[in-house]
Amino acid sequence: MTLKLNQSEFEIIRDKEKCISCQVCVRQCSNDVHEYDETEGVILSDSSKCVGCHRCETLCPTGSIKIKKRESEFKSNANWTPEHLKNIYKQAETGGVILTGMGCDKPYPVYWDHILFNASQVTNPSIDPLREPMEIKTFIGRKPDILEIKPVKEAGSDIIKYKNNLEPQLEINIPVLFSAMSYGSISLNAVKSLARAASEFGTFYNTGEGGLHKDLMIYADNTIVQVASGRFGVDKNYLNNGAAVEIKIGQGAKPGIGGHLPGEKVNYDVSTTRMIPEGSDAISPAPHHDIYSIEDLSQLIYALKEATEYKKPVGVKVSAVHNIAPIASGIVRAGADFISIDGFRGGTGAAPQVIRDNVGIPIELALSSVDLRLREEGIRHKVSLIVAGSIRSSSDVIKAIALGADAVYIGTAALVALGCHLCQKCYTGKCNWGIATQDPYLTKRLNPEIGTRRLLNLLNAWSHEIKEMLGGAGINAIESLRGNREHLRGVGLNERELSILGIKHAGEAW
Amino acid sequence: MMEIDNNLINININTIDVLKKPEINISGEKCIINAENIDYKSLNYSIRSILNEIKYSQVYESDTLRKIKTIELNNVSGQRYIGDGIQSKIIISIKGTPGNDLGAFMDGPEIEVFGNVQDGTGNTMNSGKIIVHGSAGDILGYSMRGGEIYIKEDAGYRSGIHMKSYLEKFPVIVIGGKAGNFLGEYMAGGIIIVLGIYNLVNPVKNFYLFDDNEAAGNYIGTGMHGGKIFIRGQISNHKLGKEIIKSEINEEDKELIQKYLNNYYKYFGINDKEKVNLKDFIKLSPFSKRPYGKLYAY
C-alpha cells in the first residue's frame, strides 16, 4: 500500500444542533465528501476529499455547514510552504505532473492595484452620465492609415461616405468581451449563457478551440471562432459561423505548451463538436506546425482571410511573455486585425501548476509595452488590442483602456458571475457549480436562462461604473480614453515600473 | 468569352490592394484562366466569382456557365491559397507550381496539379481530392479531416501531421515516392500510404535523400494516437516514434491499400511493370488512443 502523506486542505464544521440530516449536502457534493449513515441517522463528512467549492455551505437550508481552511497542518516554514510539501508528496505517490485550474494565485504584484484613475476638479468639468450622452461603444479591427471621405447623392440628399472600403470591424457596446472558453472545458449551459448574454448585450463570446456546438450557431453574429494548433472542429462552416476568427497561439495560464483534453471527457456531444472520435484524446500540439515564424503566421492569417473572403477580422491570441512588444509588432505586420494578449494570471480549465505559476508576465506591463512600441513604430492604428489575464472589475477595464487597450476579455469574472467559487479543480471535471463539467447531473445545476441574466447584470453594472468613472474624469467617449496615460498615476511603484507603464507617480501634476 | 464585372471585383478587398482581372476563356465544359502575372488575391477572387456565377447560373437552362465542370489555371507560379475554403464539386486543374496552402480548408473540389506543390497542401482540408503529378513540400495534409491526397513522387517533412478521422470522414494520403522526417506526427486518424517507388534520381530533391534506402525518414509517428501508416519495404526500429508499433498487414489492410493504390495507378498512368507488391507493406499503428494518459497527478 502506498503511504498517503497528504493532509486535507479544508475542515468541515457541522453544527449538529442545526443539521436536520436532509442530505442536501450529500446530493450536492460530487467529491463524495458527505455520507449519510442510516443506522445512526447522521451525516458524516470526510474533509480530506473537500476541494473548498462551498457548494454545500451555500445550499445548506439550515446554515449548519462551515468550510474552514485547516489550520496548523504543517509546522510553519516560510520557505517550505504546505503547497511545496503537498506537491512533493503527491508526485512521490503518482510520478505525475501537478495539474491545476483557473489563474495563478501566487502573490505576485497586481499592478492594477497600484494604479489610480483621475477625476476632474474645477479646471475641467466632470460629466453626469445619467443626464448626458456617454459613449462606451467601440470597434475591433484594423483602422485605415488615412480616412478619405466623399460626398455621395443618395435618395436626393448629399451624404458623406468613405472613399475606400473599411476593413471589417466588430462593433461592441461595451469594451468587454467573453474570452475563449471551449465547450469541453466548460459545460454547454455555461457556453450558452455566455453566447446569449453576448448577443443580447451586443458584445462577443469566443468558442475556444473546441469547435462550435450546433445549438450555438444562432449566435453566429456574436461569436469569435478560434483556430488552434489541433484545428478541432475547424471547417468552412465553422469559419462561416463566426463574426471573427482568432488564431490561438498561446494562453496566459500556459504559454508555450500544448494541451490535451483527456479521452474520458470526450463524450458523444463533445466529440461531434470537436469532430474527433468518442473517447480519444484531443491533443493540441504546442506550436502550430505550419507556423514557425512571423511570415508563417501571416500565411495562416491570409489563408483564413481567403477562406472568409476578407469579410471577417482575423486576430491572433498570444500569451504575455518577455518579448511581447516585438512579437506584437510582428503580428501587426503579419496582417492581424486584432491582437489578444493574455497575461500570466489568465485562467484555464487545466494546466500544469509549474507553468501556470511561473511562466509569463503581468498583463499590465505587457499591455503598456505593446501599446508604446506600436505607437513608436506608427502602426498602433493598424490593430486593435484586446487584453486578458485577470480583469476583475470595471476599474481594471478603465485602467486597461487608459494603458492602451481597445477592449478586454473576461473569462474568470464571467464564470464567477455564473457561480464559480475558484476552487481551482476544473481539471477534475467534477465542478459542483455545473460550469467546468460534462456530467449531466452537475451541468443541469446551471440554468442558461439564469446564467444569461446574471451575465447581463454584470455587464450592465460595469457599464454604469465605466460611465461614472469616465464622466468623473470629464470624458464622454471610451475611445478618448484609449492610451490616455495622463489619467493614470502609480502608487508604490519604482521608477522602472512607472517607465514601463508610461505613467507618472501619484502627486506629480501634468 | 466571359467578362468579370470590374465593379464586382473591387468589393470587399483591402484598401491598398488593387485587384487585377486575369484573362478568362470559356470553352465547352472548361473555364480557362491565365494566371500569369496575377497575384494570389486576384486569382482566388476570380475563382470565387466564377464559382458564384456558376452557382447562380444553375437556374438558367440556356446559360453556358452552368455547363462548366473544370476551371483550368495556366501558368501558375507560386500563387498561394488556391482552392482555399471552397465548398463546391468543381474540378480545378493547375498547370505550373501552386504556392503554399493549396486547398486549405477546402470542402469538396478536386484539384489536379501538373507540377510540384509547396508547403501546407491540403491544410485542414475537410473533403475533396488533390492529385499532384510531382512532389510535395512540408506539412502535407496538416490536420486534414477528410478527402484524399495523391502525390506521385516525394513529400517533405511532417506529412499527415495531426490528421484525424471522424464518422464518415476518413482522410487518405498516398505518397508514391519517399516521405521526409516526422511522417504522421500527432496522427489521430485516417491512413498514409508510402510506396517509395521513386529513387530520387533528380538531384534537386536530394534533401529528402536518406543514408538508407527506406521509404520514410526519422521520427515516424511521433505522438501518434490514431490511424495507420502503411510503408512499402522495411523501416528500421530506431526511426519509429515511441508511441507506435510495427506489424504485418492483414487481409483487411490489404483491401484498403489496394483500393487507394488502384486510384494512384489510374491517376498517374502507372503501367503493370511498375506496380508494387502488396506483401511488401508494413503497418505502423499507435499503442494507445491515449499516449499521455498517465502524465498527470490527479
The CATH number linked to A184 is: 3.20.20.70
The dihedral sign for the CA sequence A82, A83, A84, A89 = positive
Q: Which residues of A touch B225 (CB under 8 A)?
A: 280-281, 283
Give the separation between CA B270 and CA A471, rounded to whole angstroms: 77
Angle at A164 between CA A163 and CA A169, to 5 degrees: 125
CATH code of residue A74:
3.30.70.20
Q: What domain range includes position A25?
A: 10-96
* Residue A72 and residue A190 in one domain: no
Q: Confirm or reject contact between A415 and chain B (CB < 8 A).
A: no
Instruction: List the one residue out of A81, A20, A105, A7 whose CA is nearest residue A50.
Output: A7
Cβ-defined contact of A263 to B289 (cutoff 8 Å): yes
Residue B297 falls inside a structural domain: yes
Cα nearest neighbour of A86 on chain B:
B297
**Residue B270 maps to which CATH number?**
2.160.20.60
Among residues A57, A74, A96, the one where a domain terminates is A96
Contact A175, A144 (CB under 8 A): no
Return d(Cα A493, Cα A488) in angstroms, integer: 13
| Within a domain: A279 | yes
With cut-offs at 50, 70 and 90, classify the pLDDT of residue B199.
low
Within-domain flag for B252: yes
SS3 A391: coil
Q: What residues contact residue A142 under an 8 Å CB cut-off, 6+ apart?
A: A167, A313, A337, A338, A382, A383, A384
In B, which residues are within 8 Å of A311 by CB distance?
12
The helix/strand/coil state of A207 is coil
Question: Could you say which DSSP state residue A180 is in?
Answer: B
Distance CA A407, CA A413 (A): 15
Give whole-number Cα distances, B66 to A120, A291, B47, B111, in Å. Answer: 68, 39, 15, 19
Identify whether B18 is part of a domain. no
- The answer to whether the beta carbons of residues A358 and A406 sit under 8 Å apart is no
- The last residue of one of the domains, among A74, A96, A118, is A96
Answer whether residue A351 is part of any domain: yes
In this structure, what C-alpha cell is assigned to residue A437? 463539467
Q: Which residue has the higher pLDDT, B61 or B158?
A: B158
Q: Is the pLDDT of residue B203 over 80?
A: no
- Kindly tell me if the per-residue pLDDT of B65 is higher than 60: yes
* Same domain membership, residue A347 and residue A225: yes
Q: What percent of chain B has pLDDT over 70?
A: 87
SS3 assignment for B33-74 = EECCCCCHHHHHHHHHHHHHHHHHHCCCCCCHHHHCCEEEEE
pLDDT surpasses 90 at B126 = yes
Q: Is any Cβ of chain B less than 8 angstroms from the Cβ of A308?
A: yes
A-chain residues near B161 (CB < 8 A): 289
Per the prediction, chain A carries an average pLDDT of 93
Q: Tens digit of pLDDT for each residue in B274-288? A: 888 899 999 999 987
DSSP track, chain B = --PPPHHHHTTTS-TT----PPEEEEETTEEEEE-TT--HHHHHHHHHHHHHHHHHHTT-TT-GGGG--EEEEEEEES---TTTT-BS--EEEEEEE--SSTTTT-EEEEEEEES---TTTTTT--EEEEEESS-B-SSTTTT--S-EEEESS-B-TTTTTT---BTTB--EEEESS-B-SSTTTT-EEEEEEE--------GGGGGG--SS--SB-SSBTTT--EEEEEEES---GGGB-TTEEEEE--HHHHHHHHHHHHHHHHHHT--GGGPPPGGGEEEEEES-S-TTTTSEE-
Nearest CB neighbour to A303, from listed B15, B81, B107: B81
Cα–Cα dist B185/B205, whole Å? 22
User: Is residue A461 included in any domain, yes or no?
Assistant: yes
In a domain, B210, yes or no: yes
Q: What is the pLDDT of residue A445?
A: 97
Cα A397 versus chain centre, distance: 13
Q: Which of residues 93-112 of A touch B (CB under 8 A)?
A: 93-99
A336 lies in the same domain as A196: yes
Evaluate if residue B249 carries a pLDDT over 80: yes
Which pLDDT belongs to residue B123? 96
Taking all residues of chain B, what is their mean pLDDT, rounded to a whole number? 87
Shared domain check, A191 and A85 = no
pLDDT of residue B60: 66
The domain boundary residue, chosen from A78, A96, A114: A96
Task: Tell me what pLDDT residue B10 has.
Answer: 37
For residue A144, which residues of chain B lie inside 8 Å, CB to CB? 15
A254 within some domain: yes
Residue B48 contacts residue B88 (beta carbons within 8 Å): no
Low-confidence ranges of chain A (pLDDT < 50): 1
Q: What is the pLDDT of residue B219?
A: 93
> Smallest Cβ distance to A310: which of B12, B105, B225?
B12
Distance CA A188, CA A10 (A): 30
Contact A165 B44 (CB under 8 A): no
Helix A448-472 and helix A188-201, axial crossing angle in degrees, nearest 10: 40
Q: What is the predicted pLDDT for the residue at B8?
A: 38
User: Residue B7 above 90 pLDDT?
Assistant: no
Q: Is the pLDDT of residue B154 over 80?
A: yes
Check residue B62 and give its pLDDT: 65
pLDDT value at residue B198: 72
> Is the same domain home to A90 and A183?
no
List the grid coordinates of B273.
Answer: 511493370
User: What tens digit of pLDDT does each residue of B251-274 get?
Assistant: 999 999 999 999 999 999 998 888
Look at residue A256 and give its three-state secondary structure: coil
Share of chain A above pLDDT 70, in %: 98
Distance CA B214, CA B235 (A): 6
CA distance B79 to chain A (A): 12
Domain span at residue B191? 134-298
Burial level of A150, CB count in 10 A (0-12/13-18/19+)? Answer: exposed
The sign one gets for the Cα dihedral A352, A357, A358, A362 is positive
Cell of A503: 505613467
Yes or no, beta carbons of A235 and B44 under 8 Å apart: no
A469 lies in some domain: yes
The answer to whether the Cβ–Cβ distance between B162 and A230 falls below 8 Å is yes
Contacts of A353 in chain B (CB under 8 A): none
With an 8 Å Cβ cutoff, are B84 and A303 in contact? yes
The answer to the question of residue A142 being in a domain is no
Helix H, strand E, coil C: the string for A355-372 is HHHHCCCCHHHHHHHHHH
Domain membership of residue A386 (yes or no) is yes
Among B42, B81, B71, smallest CA distance to A307 is for: B81
Bridge partner residues of A153 (DSSP)? A158
**Residue B162 to residue A97, Cβ atoms within 8 A:** no
CA angle B290, B291, B295 (to 5 degrees): 100
Number of domains observed in the structure of chain A? 2
Domain count, chain B: 1
Are A91 and A182 part of one and the same domain? no
Cell numbers that stand for A386 in this block: 484586446
Residues of B in contact with A101 (CB under 8 A): none
**Residue B125 domain flag:** no
**What are the residues facing A162 on neighbouring strands?**
A149
Cβ atoms of A43 and A60 within 8 Å: the answer is no
Q: Is residue B32 part of a domain?
A: no
Contact B291 A231 (CB under 8 A): no
Q: Are residues A52 and A179 in the same domain?
A: no
Grid cell locating A77? 516554514
Asked if residue A131 is part of any domain, the answer here is no
Looking at residue B4, what is its pLDDT? 45
**Does B81 sit within 8 Å of A290, measured CB to CB?**
no
